Structures are given as C-alpha cells and as structure tokens.
Amino acid sequence: MKLTQVAFSTNQYIAEEHTKKQIYLHHTAGSADPFAVFKVWENNPEKIATCVTIGGKPTKTAKWMDGEVVQGYSSKHWAYHLGLKEYTFHNFKLQYIT
C-alpha cells in the first residue's frame, strides 16, 4: 500500500505513544480531497484529527486518486476525535481509549 506523507504541525496532535486497542473509521463529509482535510485541521486549535485520510472520488482536475492514503502523523501518536476531550469520558464514566 502506498502511503503519501503530508506536512502536519506537531501542535495538531499529541506526540505521546500509546498502545492502540481500537480503530475508528470516520467519514469526513466536507471534502473528498485527503490533502484538504489536513489543511482544515491545521487551522483547528483543538487537536481534532486522524493520522490518515483516504481520498474519495476525484474531480477531473484533482491531484489525488480515489483511495489514496495520506498520513499526517505516525499512528503511534494520537489526537482527539469528534471534539471529545478526556474529561467527557470521565464525566459520563465511559472507558477512555487513546
């Protein structure tokens, strides 16, 4: 599998290594462009991201391929998902998995 790396600021994710126990697949409705998704996240102060995005059906002038996997940071690290913070899990007594 080809993995395309993209520059992504280290202040947009938490560069701590954690053992992963689950995987989440997330559909971003805003864009089929996997590079544009990372650009949007660059302007998000809340560290909401995923380590990879997958390109959707490209337009005629697109610079990505359908199914292209783009990585912004190592899967060893993590970011928040859907805007949920750790305290949300504690408040609702939910299991917190990073």
**What percent of the chain is predicted at pLDDT more than 70?**
81
* HEC profile of the chain: CCEEECCCCHHHCECCCCCCCCCCCCCCCCCCCHHHHHHHHHCCCCCECCCEEECCCCCCCCCCCCCCEEECCCCCCECECCCCCHHHHHHCCCCCCC
CA neighbor of 97 nearest in space, from 54, 65, 60, 84: 84
Q: What are the pLDDT digits (tens) for 6-43?
A: 999 999 998 988 787 777 777 777 789 999 999 988 98
Burial 58-80, CB ≥16 within 10 A → b, else e: eeeeeebeeebebbbbeeebbbb
Q: What are the pLDDT digits (tens) for 42-91?
A: 988 888 888 999 999 998 999 999 999 999 999 999 887 765 566 665 66
Give pTM, 2 decimals.
Answer: 0.76
